[in-house]
Amino acid sequence: MPETTPQQPLKGMYSDWFLDYASYVILERAVPHLNDGLKPVQRRILHSLKEKDDGRFNKVANIIGHTMQYHPHGDQSIGDALVNMGQKEVVVDTQGNWGNILTGDSAAAPRYIETRLSKFANEVLFNHKTTTWAASYDGRNKEPVTLPAKFPLVLVHGAEGIAVGLACKILPHNFIELIDACIAVLKKEEFTLYPDFLQGGTADMSDYNDGLRGGRIRVRAKIERAKARHLIIREVPFGTTATSLTDSILKANEQGKVRVSKIEDCTAEFVEIHVFLPAGVDTDQTLQALYAFTDCEVSISPNSCVIQDDKPKFLGVSEILRHSAKQTRALLKQELEIKLGELEERWHFSSLEKIFIEKRIYRRIEECETWEAVIAEIWEGLRPYLSMFVREVTEDDIVRLTEIKIKRISKFDSFKADEFIRGLEDQIKETKRHLKRLTQFTIKWYESIKERYGKGRERKTEIASFDRVEAKQVVVANDTLYVNRKDGMAGYSLKRDEAVGKCSRLDDIIAFSRDGTMRVVKISDKVFIGKDNLLVHVFNKEEPKVYNMIYRDGRGGRTMVKRFQVSGVTREKLYDLTSGKAGTRVLWLSEHDTEEEANIIVRVHLKSDLGLRKLQIDYRFADIGVKGRGVKGNILTKNPVDRVSRIPKAEQEEIVSSDSPPPASVKAAPAKKTPATKKAPAKKAATKKTAAGKSPSKKAATKKSPRRK
219-272 pLDDT, tens digit each:
999 999 988 889 999 999 999 999 999 999 999 888 878 889 999 999 988 999
Among residues of the chain, what percentage have pLDDT more than 90? 56
SS3 (DSSP) at 374 = helix
Per-residue pLDDT tens digits for 457-503: 999 999 998 877 666 566 666 778 899 888 889 988 888 888 888 88
Question: What is the mean predicted confidence (pLDDT) over 34-50?
Answer: 94
Within the chain, which residue ranges are assigned CATH 1.10.268?
330-452
pLDDT in tens, 521-567: 988 888 998 888 889 988 888 788 999 999 999 988 999 999 999 98
Locate all alpha helices (DSSP H) within 403-502, ordered by sequence.
406-410, 414-436, 438-453, 471-474
Q: Distance between the two ends of the chain, CA-based, in angstroms?
A: 112
CB 619 within 8 A of CB 664: yes
Structure confidence at residue 11 as a pLDDT band (50, 70, 90): low
The CATH 3.90.199.10 portion of the chain extends over 38-148
Question: According to the model, what pLDDT value does residue 4 have?
Answer: 57
Question: Which CA distances in Å does 660 have to 114, 691, 692?
Answer: 95, 7, 10
Q: How far apart are CA 701 and CA 558, in angstroms?
A: 24
CATH class of 38-148: alpha beta
Region 12-18: mean pLDDT is 65
* pTM exceeds cut of 0.75: no
Domain 330-452 has CATH 3.30.160: no
Q: Is the pLDDT of residue 183 over 80?
A: yes
Confidence of residue 672 (pLDDT cuts 50, 70, 90): very low
Banded pLDDT at 2 (limits 50, 70, 90): low
Please report, as a single letter, which amino acid is at residue 586. V
pLDDT of residue 506: 76
Catalytic residue among 14, 21, 24, 112: 112
Q: Which residues pair with 232 in a beta bridge?
A: 224, 274
The per-residue pLDDT of the chain, averaged, comes to: 86
Assess whether 112 carries a catalytic annotation.
Answer: yes
Amino acid 531: pLDDT: 85
The CATH number of the domain covering residues in 217-299: 3.30.1360.40
Shortest CA distance to 514 belongs to which of 496, 488, 532?
532
